Amino acid sequence: MIRLVVIGLGSRAAGLLKCLAKVDPQVELSAVVDPDPAGVRRRLEGSLWRLEERQFISLEEFLARASQFDGALIASRCHLHTALACAVAKTGLPLFLEKPVAITHAQLDALAQAFAGRMDSVVVSFPLRVTPLFRRVREILRSGELGTVNHVQAVNFAPYGGVYFSRWHRDYDLNGGLWLQKATHDFDYLNQLIDTPPRRIAAMETRRIYGGDKPPELWCSACDSTATCPESPVNIQRRGDDGGICAGDHVHGGDHPCVFSSISNRHHDAASCLIWYDGGILASYTQNFVARRSAATRGARITGYLATLEFDWHHNSLTRTEHHGQQVKTEALAEPVGGHGGGDTELLRNFLAVIRRREASISPLQDGMLSAAMSLAARDAVNSGRSEPVRRFGNSPTGAFIDPIGKAHDHQ
C-alpha cells in the first residue's frame, strides 16, 4: 500500500484524489497538510476518502515523520509551490507537483538547487502531454508525414476564463499572472512537439474586458449594477453559461466576487507571444479568457513542407491536409477517460510507478522549470517591450519527434 501525504488539498487536489482512487484503490491518503480541515472534508464528499482529525498535520510534523510516507502531492496555491517542494526535497520522497513549479526567477534557482541530480523523481502536473490525442499527434510527427516543419501556431481560447477573475487566481501575487497560470501548460506541449530548446520570446498582452474599477472585495450581490450586469447570477442563469465565473466551492447560490474588480488589473484577458526555437522553428501562441461555448479551442496547427496537421482538445480530433496531394484526413479519437483529456490518469499512474521505483517521471521537474522560465520570459518581454532570452535547465526538452533543421530528402 502506498501512503500518500497531500499538501494543499483544494479543488484541484480533490479532483486528482478522486482520479487516483480509480487508478489504484489501495493508495492510502495518510495525511493532509492544509489549514482548512472543514473545507478539505467538504471537497472530498462523495469520494472514498474519509479523514480523521489526527490525519491533519502541520508541515513541520510531516517533515519530522517523512519516513512514514511513500510520496507527497503538492497542490497549494501557486506562490507556495516552490517553497513546499524544496521542503519535500529534503525528505527524498517522490513528488507530484502542481504547475507552475515556480513564479519567479529566484524560485527557479531554489528548485534547481534543491532537486539537483534527481529531477526525474518529480512528476509535474502537465497532463496535456500524455493525453491520447497528443500522443497521436506526436506519432504523426515521428512518421515524417509533414516533412520539414517550420512553424507551429498554438491557441487556447478558454471557455472558463472567468475563473481567473472571480476566484483566488485573480490575485496576481498568488499566481504570478496568467502566463504562469495558463500558458505554462501550452509551452510544455510545444516543447514536446518541437523538441529543441526555446531561445527567445517576444510577447504582448491586453486587458479590455475583465478587471476594472470595482472595489477589490466586492461581491455581485452587493453591487448596484447587479440587475444589468451580464455576469450577475440572474443573467448567468438566464444565459446558461457562467464562463467559469461561478466555478469552485467559494460560490454560494450563484453569488460570486466581481470579475470587474480592481484586484484583477494586473492580469491580461488576452495575450500573444512569438517563440524562437533552436534550429529555426517559429511558434506563436495566443490565449484568450473571454471566449465561451463553441468558441472554445485549444490546440495547434503544425505546418510542414508536405502537410499541415491541426488538432484540438475541445473536439478531441485532428486533421491532416496534404500540400502536394489531394487528401484531407480527419481523425476523431474515442472519448478520453479522466480529467484533462485523460492526461491526469496517465500522470497519476506514472507517479505511482515512480514511488514503486518502476519508472522515471514522464513529466520531470526540468520540464516544469523550462515551461516556467518561458512564462517568465514572456512576462518580462511584455514589460521590456523586446524579446527576452529563455533560461535553460537540465536536458529539457527530451525526445526526438521532428527534425527542426530539415534536409533535402525531407522535401521528397
pLDDT at 407: 34
pLDDT-derived band at 45 (thresholds 50, 70, 90) equals confident
Is residue 288 located within the same domain as residue 399?
yes
Q: What is the mean pLDDT of the chain?
A: 91
Is residue 58 located within the same domain as residue 78?
yes
Nearest to 204 by CA among 388, 379, 371: 379
By CB atoms closer than 10 A (0-12, 13-18, 19+), residue 228 is exposed
Does residue 153 lie in a domain region? yes
Is residue 112 located within the same domain as residue 177?
no
Does residue 260 lie in a domain region? no
pLDDT-derived band at 278 (thresholds 50, 70, 90) equals very high
The yes-or-no verdict on residue 400 having pLDDT over 90 is no
Is residue 273 located within the same domain as residue 383?
yes
Q: Are 94 and 355 in contact (CB under 8 A)?
A: yes
By CB atoms closer than 10 A (0-12, 13-18, 19+), residue 149 is buried
Does residue 251 lie in a domain region? no
Is residue 47 located within the same domain as residue 149?
no
- Average pLDDT of 251-264? 84
Does residue 40 lie in a domain region? yes
Is residue 78 located within the same domain as residue 189?
no
Range of the domain at 318: 128-205+268-338+365-411
Is residue 401 located within the same domain as residue 317?
yes
- Average pLDDT of 36-63? 90
CATH of the domain at 33: 3.40.50.720
Is residue 62 located within the same domain as residue 7?
yes
How is residue 245 written as a grid cell?
465565473
**Number of folded domains that form the chain:** 2
Of the three residues 109, 126, 143, the one that is the final residue of a domain is: 126
Of the three residues 62, 91, 126, the one that is the final residue of a domain is: 126
Is residue 196 located within the same domain as residue 100?
no
CATH of the domain at 388: 3.30.360.10
The per-residue pLDDT for range 102-120, each reduced to its tens digit, is 999 999 999 999 999 999 9
Is residue 285 located within the same domain as residue 323?
yes
Cβ neighbours around 59 below 10 Å, total: 14
The per-residue pLDDT for range 295-333, each reduced to its tens digit, is 999 999 999 999 999 999 999 999 999 999 999 999 999
Query: What percent of the chain lies above the pLDDT cut of 70?
Result: 93
| Lowest mean pLDDT across 195-209, 229-243, 389-403 | 389-403
Is residue 173 located within the same domain as residue 284?
yes
The per-residue pLDDT for range 15-32, each reduced to its tens digit, is 999 999 999 998 999 999
Residue 120 DSSP code: G
Of the three residues 79, 109, 126, the one that is the final residue of a domain is: 126
The predicted model scores a pTM of: 0.91
The per-residue pLDDT for range 352-369, each reduced to its tens digit, is 999 999 999 999 999 999
Does residue 236 lie in a domain region? no
Does residue 359 lie in a domain region? no
pLDDT at 334: 84
Q: Are 354 and 346 in contact (CB under 8 A)?
A: no
Secondary structure string (H, E, C) spanning 281-331: CEEEEEEECCCCHHHCEEEEEEEECCEEEEEECCCCEEEEEECCCCCEEEE
Does residue 241 lie in a domain region? no
The yes-or-no verdict on residue 67 having pLDDT over 90 is yes
Does residue 248 lie in a domain region? no
Q: What are the backbone angles phi and psi of residue 96, rounded to the nearest 5°?
A: -100, 120
The yes-or-no verdict on residue 405 having pLDDT over 70 is no
Residues 6+ apart with CB under 8 A from 163: 169, 244, 245, 247, 248
pLDDT-derived band at 153 (thresholds 50, 70, 90) equals very high
Query: What percent of the chain lies above the pLDDT cut of 90?
Result: 81
Is residue 114 located within the same domain as residue 143?
no
